[in-house]
Structure 1
Amino acid sequence: MGSHIDADPTQAVDGLVRAIRDLTSDPNYKLVADVFSEFLYVKEQNNKLSSSHQVVLEEYRKFRNELEAQKGELVKEKQDLELLVQEKIQEIVQLSAARTRLEGDLEDTQRTLDEEMAKAAEAAETALREYAELKATKEAEYADMKATKEAEFADMKATKEAEFESMKTAKETEFAEMKAAKEAEFETMKTTKETEFAEMKASKEAEYAEMKAAKEAEYAEMKATKEAEYADLAAAKAAVEEEKRLGEEAAAAAAAKAAGEIAELTEAKTGLEQVKAENEAEIANLKDNVAELETAKAGLEQVKADNEAEIASLQERIATLEAEKKRLEEELEAARQEIASLNDTVAQKNNEIESLQESLRAAEEQIASLQQTVEEKNTEIEDLHGKLKSECERADKAEAHGRDLQTRLDDTEQNLHVTAGKLADLEQYRIVLHTDNDDTYVTVLDKIWTAIVTLVEGIFRPDIDESILNDPSCWSNLRNSPYLKHATQLQIPLPQSNSPAAKGMRISAVLAVLSRAMHKHLFRPVYLLDDDDENLVKFLRALEDEDPTREAHMRATLMSMMPERQMQQGARRVKVVVREVSWLVQHLLTALQFEAFCTGLEAACKLACEQWMRIQLAQMKIEPYFGPPYDDFDWQVLELPEFAEAAEGGRDAPHSTGDPDDAVVDDRLETVEATEAPSEGAGGAADAANSSYHDTSEHNRMEEMIEGDVDPDEILLVVWPSMCCIENGDAVSITQGLVISKEQARPALEEQRSRSRLIPRPGSRRARTLSMPGQSRGSSPRGKPMHFLASAQAASEITGDGSPEDS
């Protein structure tokens, strides 16, 4: 410690400096420094990338939110449009049906009206004949009346001529007096107006001359005064300018002498400028006076113009008086011409009177001849009066009958109107069912099946991960599904492998589950009720058996009720199918596969729901049929490539291993006639019989399956139902159902059996769980009434072999 305290500080500093120099020159230090620098650079770049990543992520989130919002809007618009289209379709269908019924009623009414019009035409012909007879009578009466009127006209003509002569004389006297009075009045007015005009003209000219002389003298005097003032101002201005010039010269000369003189000159200059300003103000006042004189001059000119205008108005008044005089002369001339025309008219009327007198003489001669004819016709008229009386009675009867018919027609039209209103009220409570042909609905059903099978094959055809294959819990949901338990009494073999047989059975099992779930929730007559609508379905079946027409009316009425609720129920049922089926297969798929399956399944179920809504509007009632019994219905094996590959691989392998349990299972798959399993000692004989049966019939059976035909006894599982329509109480297939045969399931069963040998089993034989009880092949729903089909469906619900309603 003492040596350290006594050490020289300079040496310590030098040692520290040498140490730092050695450290900086060390290669390891440089390496560490470079690494640290690179670390800092990488850290800085990482911070920049993190910030940019956050910005990009935030933009992505905003873009995703916008897309989701747009998607929601588009989905909502699509749903609104679908609802609107559905409503419009129902309205169009209802209007078409109403139009058809009204056209039929109109045709009936038109036929009735035609018959009534024919009867009315006959009555019109009768009335025409009566009119002709009445016309002849009226013509005779007219002749008599004509003679009477001609005599009256002659008397009236003489009276009017006398009145015309007296009126003519009075009008001529009155016209002469009026003419004399107007001429005297015109002369007096003319003399008065000429005197007034001359006096007014003389006074106005005198006033104008005096005013003009006074204004000219005043203007001359003012002009002389202003010119003198202008001269004085010009002289004063010249004097001021001269004084200014002299003052400036004196100021310039005295500028060198003293500053005081400069100030005096400046003050003098200021005074001169004030004088100048005063002079300029006075000049401005003089200019204003000149402007006032100009204004006064303009006023005099305006007075002159007013006087001239008054003179012009007087001249116009004189012209007006002259025009009035001319008009009176023209009226006088027109009156003269009117008198001349009246004289001409009198002469013309005299000529007409003479011609009428000649015509009257000719008419008298003709009247004499007509009187003789009238006497002859009177005799005929007397004869016709009797006939006319009888015809009048007939016409009265026809008119009464026509009124009765019109009353009946009005009543019929009123009843038709009331009936049409009632029908319109009733029609709005139902829709008109479509009557398309079977091909239309076959195309719809094929579209649904294509969407379903494409989805299932695409998802379940790839290999499943080994961890899923080896985990039995992943398969429990599908194997224990109520839909598969109700599909058949045998347990469907589902090997936990990626072999072709296992893939084929997985695809078939998922299709069977999905078809039954869709039957339970989607393939229903209406969507008004919730899932528990089996009672309504049974009621419609029973009603169709009793009265098919009323059943169709019932369905049409139900379809028209609450269309929005039916659309909502349809969407909800789609979600139920997706939820049930996805829950059964969720553990068999990876996360991505499960998401893709759910998305595709929802789209396929929406398509199925939309297409089935078209089938609900059909006149024919279409229902799925899963069986059993399978007789007299169209079935086809599901031809998957996996089944063909499994069958090719199975031909090279022996059909039996000699195990008694295997023989029992093979025998149960080949025939359903056995009622109990053979004993342990009979295993070898059963194996031999089974082997020989395969050798003789396998080839024929495979050919039949390739062609699509299948024996009902060979059906193991219905994958897709046979769609049937009800005709006269009988169910008739319109599409083939798709099934899995026992032969197709055999490779999967053998694979599952071979795997089960590797697992310790309890004492009971596993083959017993795959047994199939014997069934009668004599019963068939074809040709039987609807209540048989209903009972078969009810039995299938109880035993769980044909319909998933009880799930």
Structure 2
Amino acid sequence: MAKTVSPDEVLGTLIQSIKAIMSNDGTEVVESFISQKQELERNNANLRIALEETGKSSAQLYARIEASDKLVEQKKGELEKLAAANAALKTDLAGAVKAASAAKAQLAEKARSCAEAEARVTSMNKTVEGMKSSLEKERANTAAAKALEAKAKGELQATQAKLNSAADSLKRIEHYTVPLVSFNRKEAITKLRAISDLARSLAVAHVGIDLDDAVLSDPENWAGLKIQIEEKNLSIPLPRSNTPAAKLMRVASFLAVLSRQLELYIFQPTYFTTESNELSDLILDMKDKTQANHLRSVLLRASPDEHGEAQSKRVVDGVYKCVKPLLRQRDSLSFRASLEKVCREISEMWETFQRYTLLVTADLEFHPEYPDDWKSFPNIVPPANEIQRSPNRQSVQPNGVISGESIPVWPTFITTQNDEEDDLGWEVEPKK
């Protein structure tokens, strides 16, 4: 007779199988499910065999009952003896039937449990397949992400190489340029005031004073200054006397000559200049101010200190040649030293303007349509001293009528931005 498996054992085996399923993954889970399924199928077969044997036993019992009935008819005498046995047999039969029914119910429950387990195995198989598919997709996405990362790193390295190359180029460019700075109006006006004060003080100290009678009476001493004034198309009178007006005219003439020498050699965008100032005109006429600024920064780097010194010397030579004849011998050396010092200081201060991003230019043309941009030449000469005249010298007065024409003797300084001009407000001019 086949071994009968109790429901508790089957249920315990099923629970252990489910726990094994829950505690394992991948191929081991699937293999465990298959193994449990096979075990359940074997248990189901064993239960069927037990049920068949139980049915056979029941048939045999029914046969014995029929045989007993016949024996009752045949052997009434033995009925009482057999009644007890028959009752016992009926009791056993009822118990067997009851046990068979219970076994049948248990078998049906086990069959249902097997079906559920099989359904769960099928669902788990689908879940495993889905997990495998997701895992493959994730692997593919990871590979694609790594490829994108490698590509991004390559592009980043290429970009960094370009940036490094640009930085190296910029360093090389900066090696050949001087960085320009933003325009500082307050600083500019302060320096222009200082330049103007230096020039005025120099003029008053050396030509705004009483001159010797010998100097005043000799026309040859005035030739150089008059030639310069005439060449500049300036009609500034030069009375050969020591009156306050005459001193003022000498100071104005001196400033007119000095300012035009400064405008020619110092008040320029760069000290790389020639007599005709082609390079400065080129910079001033450039429409692209960024290119003009870059050109100035390159020229500033390339310009040695000797250029500024050479330009200052040109100014000194030009002015000294005109003024020297008016000075006494002992004063001429002092005047030249003072003139050199002033020109050197002006040149050094103007280097600040050359480094501004906003170009500053000196304008010596009087514009009558903008009279408010100009102011009258101040009376800056000291009070007249009493003049000791020689008996043979007469005061020489200028010929002709003095007109009301305005003559610039010191430039106005202008900044230009976006084709708009702005006057910095430092200029002087005499009223004749």
Q: What is the TM-score of this pair, normalised by structure 2?
A: 0.64
Query: Are positions 1:560 and 2:301 aligned together?
Result: yes
- Residue equivalent to 1:234: none
Gaps of 5+ in 2: 1-23, 33-120, 385-397
User: Cα distance 1:507–1:644, how it changes in 2: closer, same or farther (>3 A)?
Assistant: same
- Residue equivalent to 1:498: 242
**Mapping 1:426-575, distance limit 5 Å:** 426-481=173-228, 484-490=229-235, 492-529=236-273, 531-543=274-286, 546-561=287-302, 563-564=303-304, 567-575=305-313
The structure richer in helix per residue is 1
- Residue equivalent to 2:109: none
* One-letter amino acid of the counterpart of residue 593, structure 1: D
- Residue equivalent to 2:136: 389
- Residue equivalent to 2:401: 665
Cα drift, residue 478 of structure 1: 1.2
Query: Are positions 1:729 and 2:416 aligned together?
Result: no
Determine helix, strand or coil for the equivalent of 1:493.
coil
Larger Rg: 1
Higher relative contact order (CA 8 A, sep 6+): 2
**Mapping 1:83-162, distance limit 5 Å:** none
* Superimposed CA distance per residue, residues 16-54 of structure 1 (whole angstroms, 9 cap, x where no aligned partner): xxxxxxxxxxxxxxxxxxxxxxxxxxxxxxxxxxxxxxx
| In structure 2, C-alpha distance between the alignment counterparts of 1:139 and 1:502, rounded to whole Å | 119
Cα drift, residue 430 of structure 1: 2.1
Cα drift, residue 396 of structure 1: 2.3
| In structure 2, C-alpha distance between the alignment counterparts of 1:578 and 1:140, rounded to whole Å | 104
User: Cα distance 1:734–1:137, how it changes in 2: closer, same or farther (>3 A)?
Assistant: farther
**Mapping 1:62-461, distance limit 5 Å:** 379=125, 381-461=128-208
Query: Are positions 1:625 and 2:391 aligned together?
Result: no
* One-letter amino acid of the counterpart of residue 230, structure 2: K
Cα drift, residue 548 of structure 1: 1.7
| In structure 1, C-alpha distance between the alignment counterparts of 2:27 and 2:204, rounded to whole Å | 102
| In structure 2, C-alpha distance between the alignment counterparts of 1:383 and 1:730, rounded to whole Å | 75
Determine helix, strand or coil for the equivalent of 1:665.
coil
| In structure 1, C-alpha distance between the alignment counterparts of 2:122 and 2:242, rounded to whole Å | 126
| In structure 1, C-alpha distance between the alignment counterparts of 2:27 and 2:285, rounded to whole Å | 82
Cα drift, residue 519 of structure 1: 1.3
Gaps of 5+ in 1: 1-135, 145-374, 646-660, 671-713, 743-807
Instruction: Pick the aligned partner of 1:590 from 328, 332, 335.
Output: 328
Determine helix, strand or coil for the equivalent of 1:732.
strand
| In structure 1, C-alpha distance between the alignment counterparts of 2:26 and 2:359, rounded to whole Å | 76
User: Cα distance 1:732–1:388, how it changes in 2: closer, same or farther (>3 A)?
Assistant: same
| In structure 2, C-alpha distance between the alignment counterparts of 1:596 and 1:137, rounded to whole Å | 107
| In structure 2, C-alpha distance between the alignment counterparts of 1:388 and 1:608, rounded to whole Å | 81
| In structure 1, C-alpha distance between the alignment counterparts of 2:349 and 2:221, rounded to whole Å | 34
Q: Tell me if structure 2 keeps the 8 A contact 1:501–1:643.
A: no
- Residue equivalent to 2:75: none
| In structure 2, C-alpha distance between the alignment counterparts of 1:395 and 1:480, rounded to whole Å | 90
Cα drift, residue 532 of structure 1: 2.1
User: Cα distance 1:585–1:390, how it changes in 2: closer, same or farther (>3 A)?
Assistant: closer
User: Cα distance 1:588–1:539, how it changes in 2: closer, same or farther (>3 A)?
Assistant: same
| In structure 1, C-alpha distance between the alignment counterparts of 2:27 and 2:278, rounded to whole Å | 87
Q: Tell me if structure 1 keeps the 8 A contact 2:208–2:382.
A: no
Cα drift, residue 733 of structure 1: 1.2
- Residue equivalent to 2:116: none
The alignment yields a C-alpha RMSD, in angstroms, of: 2.9
Determine helix, strand or coil for the equivalent of 1:718.
coil
Cα drift, residue 402 of structure 1: 2.2
Cα drift, residue 401 of structure 1: 2.3
Determine helix, strand or coil for the equivalent of 1:464.
coil
Q: Percent identity?
A: 25
User: Cα distance 1:455–1:472, how it changes in 2: closer, same or farther (>3 A)?
Assistant: same
